[in-house]
Amino acid sequence: MTPGFPIDYVGVQWDGDASGGAIRFQHGAQWGPWAELTGDGVEVAGTVASGLVWGADAAAYQVRLPVGAAQPRAVAINTTDGPPLTIGAGPGDAAGAAVSVIRRSEWGADESLRFDALGNEIWPTAYYPAQKLTVHHTATLNGDPDPAATVRAIYRYHAVDRGFGDIGYQYLIDEDGRTYEGRWSGTDPDPGHDATGLVVTAAHVGGYNSGNVGAALLGTLTTQGPSAPARSALESLLADLASRHGLDPMGSSTFTTPVSGAKWTGPNISGHRDWEATECPGGALYTLLPAIRSNVAALMSSTTTTTTTTTTTTTTLPADTRPPVISSVGAVNVTATSASVRWSTDETSTSRVEYWVSSATVLSIQNGALVTAHDMKISGLARRTKYSYRVSSTDASGNTATSANFSFTTRK
Ligand SMILES: [Zn+2]
């Protein structure tokens, strides 16, 4: 497919329940490698939709569908090169708001996408008391150079191509820790809520959306955890929401959907996969949820309670400010092109190896899973070459330790 414009993103949908498929992009005369199509977990019964795949301004793309995929449809999206939209000033944040949110008018939401050709709102708003907070990832690229453009692409994909009439999350957070307003919630100054503090219904967990607040981290957090700023912004947002809605961040309870009466029992701060079969919010992020709940509780207990709007929240440092202790660093199973770097830490923490040849560029691999026995395989190495390396680990509270430099030499 050649859409005739530089491709920022492609999303693919089909009918049925077949999963799999792949996509590749053409830059100049070169076709890139096939990449697997994976879902973002925002499902509509009877259809399968991929997450948006980054095209990096490709000229063309090809899609391989799984067996049994019916009525395939693909959409290429460009949200960076069009004419600038003229958008009226939107509402500002409420005075004293604990979390600063980039409003729809600020990230460039084209509000006309929420209306049909006759001017009717496709998905009218409904509001309920918030009972659950659910964490997602968007299954889009990591290291995103233009997150606001990604938010616009997800909005367009959900609102138009998937027919929702708006974006499915109430909040989105980028890797720099900026929080974006998602689902439209009226003209009052409170994102995600109406003027009385009820939460707007969005579409992020099948069958359980009323009273359920969805916060999505941009990126694919399956093997790589969130950036420190993104995680911190998520914890602040969850603390603010839990505090406003009287939810115990460490608690678990039965949630009854106000629209159908369906019941679900689970944590007040959940991951999407707690609700239904989906990879979302990614294994690496999901593993961090217990630590995130603890940090949210710590943020809430250190927040000054006040009845005026002139005092902002104050936070103290979390109790754990001690980095993990790294020991037993070594390279094993060194072959001509690969090596495994192993080390131990005295508390569970993430794994990162930086490696380099003399003065060449430093490369790195990482794993966001929290472990004490670290084992990271480096491949694609040059033969009979001396590599220097060092390792680092970050604990659940964000404290990082880095080792001294070591080296190994690959075989010939
Ligand atoms: Zn999700």
Residue 272 C-alpha to ligand 1 middle, in angstroms? 5
> Does some domain include residue 274?
yes
> Does some domain include residue 311?
no
Identify whether residues 118 and 199 lie together within a single domain.
Answer: yes
| Whether the predicted pLDDT of 302 surpasses 80 | no
Residue 382 C-alpha to ligand 1 middle, in angstroms? 40
Identify whether residues 262 and 339 lie together within a single domain.
Answer: no
> Does some domain include residue 60?
yes
Total domains in the fold of the chain: 3
- pLDDT per residue as tens digits for the range 205-261: 989 999 999 999 999 999 999 999 999 999 999 999 999 999 999 999 999 999 999
Identify whether residues 105 and 73 lie together within a single domain.
Answer: no
- pLDDT per residue as tens digits for the range 108-145: 999 999 999 999 999 999 999 999 999 999 999 999 99
Identify whether residues 165 and 109 lie together within a single domain.
Answer: yes
Instruction: Report the sign of the C-alpha dihedral through residues 192, 196, 197, 201, in that order.
Output: negative
> Does some domain include residue 317?
no
Least confident of 40-44, 77-81, 203-207, 349-353: 40-44
User: How large is the average pLDDT for residues 43-63?
Assistant: 86
Predicted pLDDT of residue 2: 86
Predicted pLDDT of residue 290: 98
Collapsing DSSP states into helix, strand and coil, what is residue 268? coil
> Does some domain include residue 211?
yes
Residue 43 C-alpha to ligand 1 middle, in angstroms? 9
Identify whether residues 350 and 211 lie together within a single domain.
Answer: no
Q: Which two tokens stand for residue 264?
A: 């679900």
Residue 225 C-alpha to ligand 1 middle, in angstroms? 15
Instruction: Report the sign of the C-alpha dihedral through residues 116, 202, 168, 182, in that order.
Output: positive
Greater model confidence, 78 or 242: 242
Final residue belonging to a domain, choices 285, 301, 317: 301
> Does some domain include residue 90?
no
Q: Which domain holds residue 370?
A: 326-409
Identify whether residues 153 and 260 lie together within a single domain.
Answer: yes
Report field, pTM of the whole predicted structure over 0.85: no
Q: Which CATH number goes with the domain that contains 369?
A: 2.60.40.10
Predicted pLDDT of residue 93: 54
> Does some domain include residue 200?
yes
Q: How far is CA 119 from CA 104, 115, 116, 219, in A?
A: 20, 5, 5, 34
- Report the percent of the chain where pLDDT is more than 70: 92
Identify whether residues 112 and 70 lie together within a single domain.
Answer: no
Residue 88 C-alpha to ligand 1 middle, in angstroms? 31
* All residues with CB under 5 Å from ion ligand 1: 41, 136, 272, 280
Q: Which two tokens stand for residue 259?
A: 């629209």
